[in-house]
Amino acid sequence: MDNQYFVDSGNLSAEALERKHRLENDPSCRKNHMEYLPGMEDIKSDICEKVISQMNEYSPEKYTAKDVRTALEHDTCSIEDFKALLSPAAAPFLEQMAERARLETGKHFGNTVYVFTPLYIANYCENYCVYCGFNCYNHIKRMKLSMEQIEHEMKIIADSGMEEILILTGESRSQSDVTYIGEACKLARKYFRMVGLEIYPVNTDEYRYLHECGADYVTVFQETYDAEKYETLHLLGHKRVWPYRFDSQERALRGGMRGVAFSALLGLSDFRKDALASALHVYYLQRKYPYAEMSLSCPRLRPILNNDSINPHDVGEKQLCQIICAYRIFLPYVGITVSSRESAGFRNGIVKIAATKVSAGVSTGIGDHESKYSGKESGDAEGDEQFEICDSRSLDRMYKDISEEGLQPVLNDYLYV
């Protein structure tokens, strides 16, 4: 087991420490991460085998400068071309990749950049994911907002001018059940024209219910597509079941969601293989569900509460830029989101090249938008954050900065008919 990601034992309670040691040392406490648990829907999809077979066959070191040049010369980027663009051989061609990505972005998105904000409504979690600040053994302040508190937070955000919101919870059915999330979606529909969800994976009928409550799209991080590495990082909870998580987006589309978003958390495993698998996940689903809107997020590991040693290990800004440019060249129609995990300078640059969506006015804590947006003192009821952000710009500041780059910030362009 890879122990470098384990949370600092000194920050755990005696009870949590005992459970942590038991999990680390007793394999019988852990269920097979490839087996479905009772109640989990198995849709028997053909997508997973396609993605993973390509990922397993990928050897980034075999590609040469000639392969990269050939890929950039092609009008349409094939899977083989994409593999070359993700390889170490492509690093000296970053400027050419950026120019090609910029042209592709301009063709399909013009000079627009979409802006949204996340709202965390609960941070209770029933999973032990060793890299996450919300994990069930991390000693943090837990909180679940009431519907009155959720509406209050939403009104504050909407009053700032924001029109798209992403609702997030920790992965706990017992504390944040589907009905609770659905009611939050109904409230969000009163204040926002676009409502996204980033919650624990659910079954098709539950996604259908959440769509009926007002959700437009679903984001699910696979975290890593390396199932063996995944097993060492997810030691307990429903999230441990790798294939159920993999099929989340397809279940959401079957449940009527208009769009789905994909991501690996870059830095957990081989980032080139994870980037390849993320894009292929989109590629194959796009062909199976051509009507759906799809997007990619590009997060890197960030420090978490009680463990400041968790950082991206081998994914610097140049590597991240290479990945994003390769995404754009391979999937020219797909939205690309760059989160507040990245610096303001990086985000200002990448939206001019390939990214089409950024967050603003971000907080990963629970119940603190009033203090964030109004400057009031924070209350004692706030829940702790999931991870540290890097870019804390407000909507007004983000809007101004995007405009000054010669781009057009867009709060929403979707019309319900």
pLDDT digits 0-9 by tens, 284-295: 999 999 999 999
d(CA 3, CA 365): 27
pLDDT digits (tens, 9 = 90+) for 240-266: 999 999 999 999 999 999 999 999 999
Count of CB atoms situated within 10 Å of the CB of 205:
13
pLDDT digits (tens, 9 = 90+) for 85-112: 999 999 999 999 999 999 999 999 999 9
Q: Work out the average pLDDT over 299-309.
A: 61
- In angstroms, the first-to-last Cα distance of the chain is 52
pTM of the model: 0.89
d(CA 170, CA 395): 25
Nearest residue to 245 via CA among 284, 292, 281: 281
Side-chain-facing half-sphere of 239: CA atoms under 13 Å: 27
Bridge partners of residue 15, in order along the sequence: none
> What is the per-residue pLDDT for 133?
76
What's the mean pLDDT when you consider all of the chain?
88
Question: By three-state DSSP, how is residue 293 classified?
Answer: strand
pLDDT digits (tens, 9 = 90+) for 328-346: 999 999 999 998 889 999 9
User: What is the DSSP-derived secondary structure letter of residue 266?
Assistant: B
- Cα dihedral 251, 257, 259, 264, rounded to 10, equals -30
pLDDT digits (tens, 9 = 90+) for 5-36: 344 444 555 655 665 565 555 454 557 999 99
User: What is the DSSP-derived secondary structure letter of residue 390?
Assistant: S
> What is the per-residue pLDDT for 363?
73
Q: Which domains does the chain have, with CATH numbers?
A: 3-410 (3.20.20.70)
